[in-house]
Amino acid sequence: MYIVIEGQDGTGKSTQAEMLKTHFEQQGRKVVMLEEPDGDLPQAHDLHDMILTRGYNLEPLTNVLLFTAARVELWRKIAEPVLREGGIVISARNYWSTIAYQGYGEGVSRSKIIRLTKEMLPERYVHPDYGFILTVSDEVRLARQRGRGKATETFELKPSEFQQKVNAAYPKIAKEFNLTIVDASPSPDEIFATIKRMISVAQG
C-alpha cells in the first residue's frame, strides 16, 4: 500500500504517519515512512534545505522543480523497492502540497504542476491507495505551531495572506482528487482511530 497524509503545517501529519507505521509494523509488515521533501535521503535532504531553510527566496517555479526532483529521488530510491517487496509506504505530504503551496499559494499553474508530476513520476505515485487531508481551525493549528517553537522554514514564515490561500486550497484539492478529509482537532489517538477505521473499511 501507498498511503499519503496531507494538510497544512500544524495539522499533525507526521504524528499520524508515525502512528500508522507503528500499527502496521506490529502486524509484521515491512513499512517505510517518508516526510516529503526530506525523507532521510541525503540528496533529498539537501534539496529540502535549499528550498526551506537557506533563505534563498527562490522563484515559485524553481520551488516546484526542486520539490519534484526530491520526490523522484525518494520514490525511486526508497518507496519503489519497498512496494515491489509487498511493503507499505506512508508519506507525510506528496505533490498535493505543491499544488497547495506553489499552486494556490504562489501562483504557479496547477495544471503545470500536475503535468510535471505525471511526466516525472509513475502512476502509482500520482494516485496513492489512500489519501487523507487533515484539517483544523487556524487557531488550533497556529497554537500547535507555536508549541513547536519559533518558525524557521520558508513557507511557515510567509504572511497570513499566503497561509489563508493554502488553507483554502486543501478542501479544493480534496474534492478534485477524491481525498478523505479528516478533522484533526481531536486527540492524536482519536484521529488515528478514524484513519485506521477508514483504511480497514476500504480493505473490506
* Tens-place pLDDT, residues 150-189: 445 556 667 688 888 998 999 999 999 999 999 999 999 9
Average pLDDT of the segment spanning 65-84: 94
Distance CA 4, CA 13 (A): 9
pTM: 0.89
* Tens-place pLDDT, residues 110-141: 999 999 999 999 999 999 999 999 998 777 76
Distance CA 98, CA 32 (A): 22
What's the chain's average pLDDT?
88
